[in-house]
Amino acid sequence: MTDRVLMPPRTTAHWLAILTACGVDAATAQLWAQVFADTLKPDSFSRGDDDLEDFLPNALHESTMLTQLEENLNYTPDALLATFGAHRITPEQAQAVGRVPGKHAADQRAIANIVYGGEWGRKNLGNILPDDGWRYRGRGIPGITGADNYRRVGDLVGQNLEGIPDLLAQPRFALEAGIEWWEDRIPDSMLGETTALRKRVNGGTLGLAEVQRLTRLVRPVLETNHG
């Protein structure tokens, strides 16, 4: 087993500077700086700052700069079909539950139960009950989705995330779970391969340009902010 590479210690002040430099707004950065300082330990990642350089840009993008810890399913019908495909939601279903300006708002609960439910949800996410798609919608950083993933990550962090899924919408639990998910799912050989990492985190290349931009910001600011 490869020895873990330790990260240098970082205080709340260091994290405030890091998050602010990455574009997180001041109030949000102030809240999360304490969470990062309390949660991240020198051995949190197997490859230390090499992991952090890739983890942080993805975490910032997936959480809309740490302002959103629950998936936003406010899709139009066209966006639903483009995002999830007709094999997971039919055009008729998309029209019925998607946001149609001037007619009706998106039925986000119904959307979640369609796109994360059915045979696809059962096979890929372990969602077996009618409301599991909504109950185990994306939460945390990066978004954990599906009963099986809530159960696995919960076991890794020692929390009953399957039984209390809303824990992942709380900053400390979201960050703890995100680190454990990353360590469980991201091999060291993938570090630095931004495109491959986006596919592993998001299932495609959505947000790739933004993550690349954030990565260019993160690397130098980590080097200048540590104990």
Q: Which pLDDT score, from 0 to 100, does residue 142 have?
A: 84
Same domain for 130 and 179: no
Instruction: Copy the structure tokens of residue 105.
Output: 């708002």
Cis bond before residue 142 (omega within 30° of 0) = yes
Q: Are 208 and 194 in contact (CB under 8 A)?
A: yes
SS (H, E, C) 133-178: HHHCCCECCCCECCHHHHHHHHHHHCCCCCCCHHHHHCHHHHHHHH
> DSSP class of residue 198?
H
Same domain for 169 and 111: no
Number of domains within the chain: 2
Same domain for 217 and 145: yes
The answer to whether residue 123 is domain-embedded is yes
pTM, to two decimals: 0.91
Instruction: Show the domain range for 93.
Output: 77-135
The answer to whether residue 192 is domain-embedded is yes
The answer to whether residue 82 is domain-embedded is yes
The string of pLDDT tens digits covering residues 63-77 is: 999 999 999 999 999
Which of 88, 118, 135 terminates a domain? The answer is 135
Q: Which pLDDT score, from 0 to 100, does residue 204 have?
A: 82
Q: Which pLDDT score, from 0 to 100, does residue 222 have?
A: 95
The string of pLDDT tens digits covering residues 106-125 is: 999 999 999 999 999 999 99
Same domain for 179 and 105: no
Three-class DSSP category at 84: helix
Same domain for 158 and 123: no
The string of pLDDT tens digits covering residues 156-177 is: 999 999 999 999 999 999 999 9
Same domain for 219 and 163: yes
The answer to whether residue 3 is domain-embedded is no
Burial class (CB in 10 A: 0-12, 13-18, 19+), 73: buried
Same domain for 171 and 212: yes
Same domain for 41 and 103: no
How distant is the alpha carbon of residue 27 from its chain centre?
21
The answer to whether residue 7 is domain-embedded is no
The string of pLDDT tens digits covering residues 10-65 is: 999 999 999 999 999 999 999 999 999 999 999 999 999 999 999 999 999 999 99
The answer to whether residue 5 is domain-embedded is no
Nearest-angstrom CA–CA distance, 201 and 213: 17
Q: Is the dihedral of CA 164, 169, 175, 177 positive or negative?
A: positive
Which of 91, 117, 135 terminates a domain? The answer is 135
The answer to whether residue 101 is domain-embedded is yes
